[in-house]
Amino acid sequence: MNKMNKKGFTIVELVIVIAVIAILAGVLIPTFGGIIDRANESAEMQKVAAAYKEAYALAMADDGKIDTDDYNAKIKDTDTANNCIEAGGYKFTITMNAAGTEVTDWAVAAGGAEGYTFDYDNGAWTAKKG
């Protein structure tokens, strides 16, 4: 009754499994890094878009023009001389027409996550890292 009961894995089998895991990790980790970057950009874009809506509601009358009657009364922490409005943790600058009655462009002067730049084009915001 000399029975040898072999249970377990050999060293060669373990090394092969570890090598396969290492190869898969090497391929997948950069992919997940890109997914995380895109998710962060999307989240930042959603935040700036929400802040823009808040700033727009504060600064504009229903006709798309600056609400000059109570502009200063409605907006706190605002640099009206430079047409800047703070909302949602962002500081927006407003480009006006020559008469100073209509907004022609919006830009983010400051705020948001470190290292992001923002662009407003055709009614939509984009956020880019770098």
C-alpha span between 71 and 92 (Å, rounded) = 15
Q: What's the N-to-C CA distance of the chain in angstroms?
A: 73
C-alpha span between 99 and 65 (Å, rounded) = 11
C-alpha span between 16 and 97 (Å, rounded) = 69
Q: What is the pLDDT of residues 75-92, one digit of tens each?
A: 444 555 566 777 778 887
Q: What is the pLDDT of residues 64-74, one digit of tens each?
A: 555 555 444 44
pLDDT of the chain, 130 residues: tens digit per residue: 556 667 888 999 999 999 999 999 998 888 887 888 888 888 888 888 888 888 777 666 555 555 555 444 444 445 555 667 777 788 877 777 777 666 677 778 777 777 778 887 777 777 777 6
> What's the whole-model pTM score?
0.59
Q: CB of 107 within 8 A of CB of 91?
A: no
CA distances from 45 to 50, 54, 60, 73, 114 (A): 9, 14, 22, 29, 13
